[in-house]
Structure 1
Amino acid sequence: MAAEDTSKVSEAYPMNGGDGPNSYAKNSTYQRAVVVVAKELLNKAIVEKLDKDIKLSFNTFHIADLGCSVGPNTFYSVENILEAVQSKYRIQGKNSQIPEFQVFFNDHSRNDFNMLFKSLPQNRGYFAVGVPGSFHGRVFPSASIHIAHSSYAIQWLSRVPEAVVDRDSSAWNKGRIHYSNSTDEVIRAHETQYNKDMECFLHSRAQEIVHGGLMILMIPGRPDGTPHSHSLANITLQFLGLCLKDMARKGVVSEDKVDSFNIPMYTMSPQELKAAIERNGCFSIEIMSDLPHALVSDTISISELLASHLRAGLEGIVKQQFGEEILDELFRLYRKKCEENASIFESETAVNFLVVLRRTAD
């Protein structure tokens, strides 16, 4: 399928909108911490790797944030990028040539754009635009973006692989909501979907980013050679599946609904991403580096942090499958499950890596 067509079949999984107690805006401090620890490396990458003679249109520099959600993290990321670009111009002695900035905030059309724009920083140094659509396909005109950025977004697949919800398939993922602790067939189905999605993602960005422009990705991943079932990001989802199975045994939710529910995420390794980039052939890898451990406020427990952040990210997809009435009980059980297994989270740290790609000439 051509990259331009993927948005027609891509499913939407928006984060919790608004600014309530379960909103993404209030429960994404960990993602913010990842952006904070990446700031210095991001600044260095832009100053050193962005083409010094990059072509501007009408003296305007275009930045795109893919999978922006509702803020405030997207605003912090954009501000970091903008400051780094301005710094590059000053270092080159081009203070008088610093361009104007236009920022495109992209996410699925079901994203809470009202919340996003209501909370835009008042003293921002850029013109803001909302761009609805799946980043698994084209969302911008050709050669129109100078820096594309995405943080904690491309682990989402465009859809659940069809085979894992097909009862007649050897990859049917009965009794589980994620691939990581499942059979080889289920894992392969997700790997195949990931490869298709990355092919479309990279093909689309290659058309949209100008030659010499950059793509900056911050990704929750797993170290090369680490089994999917040992990835800390995946373990958190396994625990949610165990909670749903407990609720099915008690008759709170139906077993059939658990069997047909799968979370469309894939935790990639640097090697997998590198292979996808090399197959695409339109980008050079300037940086691919693990990020330092992201520090979050210690005023709440790890289990409380995990439960609140997971709910902010997954409440919509869970509610769509099981209804709203189970949410409080499900995430109460999830928090308890995390407390019972606290040693796992205390002994391991999540792996995040920064990737900086440069659009090469065709």
Structure 2
Amino acid sequence: MIRSSIKWESDGQNDHGGAMKGASIDSCPANGGHGSHSYSKNSYYQKSSVDIVRIKIEEEIKEKFSTTNLISSSSSSSNTIRLADLGCATGPNTFWTMQYIIDAMKSNLKSPCPNSPKLSPNFQVFFNDQITNDFNTLFLSLPQQRDYFAAAAPGSFYGRLFPDSSIHFVHTAYSIHWLSAVPAEVRDKRSAAWNRGRIHYIGAAEEVVEAYAGGFAADMERFLEARAEEMVGGGIMVMICLGVCDGVSPSQLPFRILYDNLAFALIDMAKEGLLNEDEVDSFNLPMYITCPKEMRKLIEKNGHFSIERIELTESATWVKENIDIRVWINHVRAAMEGTFIEHFKKKELMDEMFERVIRKLSNYPEEINEKLHEKVQLFAVLKRKEDAFLN
């Protein structure tokens, strides 16, 4: 999973991976290590959700991923297929995903003619996340038996990460719904989008919703532009993120119950003097949940990808059963805790905060199970067009 969300200020040079002067971090990588609140120990829900589209990804590779053509169109003459997992976190999900994708690619190489020469390309996987991601844990966990060469690609995926026309397959799961930054208007007390008393746009004023939507559109514009320059013509990109049906009001999103109770816990702690009230008022989660119509519009605006598939997928297996609230919040904590610590500088209060959230949510077991059964994710498969290179 998780997002590569750093807002960079350029010094005026072109945005090709260099000339970055400073970074404002609004969201942080998932928890590292292998402790009880680590992402490596609390990411089963994400794996279960992504698992339901595995067959669809394998179908797209079988039908549309031409290994020989893609190698010949690469800027390098080496016999290498290059893949990137953007927002890889610390494993194990990224290793599982990359392996089944490569297995699908290798199955494409089997020639129906027994006397035909067998292609044996190399596979290279770039694992990307923020520069502060726990890459040590990631690579210490790297499977010894694997069919690829591994490399790190640290940095924000809202900018360039790789050379021109060098990547054949891009995968990103549960990452691009994290914004590069909280919209500036939401931070500004003088703005109509000032979001005091809430930590997200869900259930907030229309001005807040519009600010978040604008931030997501700007981020996706940069994301798609960077990928278009990095990918070879005919390359495939798979994007999986939180999603919502077209036309659904943000106030009706199923995760509202989580964000509301996170906000209530923070407000209570501020009233008790455990947290600074101004810091609570200024805290907002930099995350946006898009719909197929909105995503399609942004992709078409970019113009360098054909949309091979875009849809909302069914709920994962885990939400078809009753939710264990503590297990669920442990997953939330593994993904979000760093963002809270970065803002409040109170690591010692995280146990208290998340315990309060668990207690609050425990009062609504039926509502939680009803709401989370509505959970959907957006699944999109794009193909890099064989057009002129971006200028």
* TM-score normalised according to structure 2 size: 0.88
Deviations 1:126-169 (A, max 9, x none): 00000110000000001000000000000000011111111111
Change (3 A) 1:300 1:114: farther
Residue 44 of structure 1: aligned partner: 59
Q: Structure 1 residues 234, 104: closer, same or farther in 2, change over 3 A? A: farther
Contact 2:85/2:125 (<8 A) preserved: yes
Match of 1:179 in 2: 201
Q: Secondary structure at the match of 2:70?
A: coil
| Greater Cα shift, 180-189 or 87-96 | 87-96
CA–CA distance in structure 2, aligned partners of residues 216 and 81 of structure 1: 11
Question: How far apart in 2 are the matches of 1:88 and 1:233?
Answer: 40
| Conservation of the 8 A alpha-carbon contact between 1:29 and 1:296 | no
The one-letter code sitting in structure 2 at the alignment partner of 1:294 is A
Deviations 1:103-131 (A, max 9, x none): 00011100000000000001011000001
Decide which moves more: 94-103 or 7-16.
7-16
Render the CA deviation track for 1:18-65: whole Å, top value 9, x for unaligned: 000000000111001022211111100111122352234411000000
- 1:83 paired residue number: 103
Choose the corresponding residue for 2:188, options 162, 166, 170: 166
Is contact 2:71–2:80 with CA below 8 Å preserved after alignment?
A: no
Alignment-mate amino acid for residue 188 of structure 2:
D
Alpha carbons of structure 1 residues 302 and 271: separation in structure 2 relative to 1, 3 Å: farther
Superimposed CA distance per residue, residues 172-198 of structure 1 (whole angstroms, 9 cap, x where no aligned partner): 111211111211111111111111000
The letter for the 1-side match of 2:108 is K
Q: Are residue 202 (structure 1) and residue 224 (structure 2) matched? A: yes
Q: Is 1:332–2:352 an aligned residue pair?
A: no
Shift of the alpha carbon at 1:9?
4.4
Could you list the per-position Cα deviations for residues 292-323 of structure 1 after superposition, in whole angstroms to 9, with x for gaps in the alignment? 32123999943112210111011111112221
CA RMSD of aligned residues (A): 2.1
Residue of 363, 373, 380 corresponding to 1:355: 380
Deviates most, 218-227 or 230-239: 230-239
Could you tell me whether the CA contact under 8 Å between 2:257 and 2:368 is conserved in 1? no
| Displacement after TM superposition at 1:237 (Å) | 2.2
In 2, Cα distance between equivalents of 1:227 and 1:297: 22
Aligned counterpart, 1:20: 35
Counterpart in 1 of 2:178?
156
Q: Which of 135, 154, 160 is equivalent to 1:132?
A: 154
Superposed displacement of residue 255, structure 1: 1.5
AA paired with 1:66?
L
Distance apart, 1:250 and its partner CA: 2.5
- What amino acid does structure 2 have at the position aligned with 1:50? F
* CA distance 1:281–1:149, shift in 2 (3 Å): same
- How far, CA to CA, are the matches of 1:254 and 1:148 in structure 2? 41
Separation (CA, whole Å) in 2 of partners of 1:10 and 1:89: 44
Deviation at 1:239, TM superposition (A): 2.1
Check conservation: 1:14, 1:110, Cα contact below 8 A: yes
Deviation per residue, 1:253-278 (Å, 9 max, x gap)? 12111111111000111111111000
Match for residue 54 of structure 1 among 70, 80, 101: 70
Asked whether the 8 Å contact 1:136–1:200 carries over to 2, the reply is yes
Q: 2:15 and 2:203 mapped to 1: Cα distance? A: 30
The more displaced of 45-54 and 126-135 is 45-54
User: Unmatched 5+ residue regions in structure 2?
Assistant: 1-9
Conserved 8 A contact 1:60-1:100: yes
Q: Does 1:257 align with 2:279?
A: yes
- Report how far residue 326 of structure 1 moved: 1.4
1:122 corresponds to = 144
Point out the more displaced range, 146-155 or 169-178.
Answer: 169-178
CA–CA separation in structure 2 for the residues paired with 1:136 and 1:222: 22
Tell me how many residue pairs correspond in the alignment. Answer: 362
**Offset of 1:10 from its aligned partner?**
5.8
SS of 1:44's equivalent in the other structure is helix
Identity of aligned residues (%): 41
Cα deviation for residue 291 of structure 1 reads: 2.2
In the alignment, does 2:258 pair up with 1:233?
A: no
Rounded Cα–Cα distance in structure 2 between residues aligned with 1:297 and 1:188: 30
Q: Which has the higher helix share?
A: 1
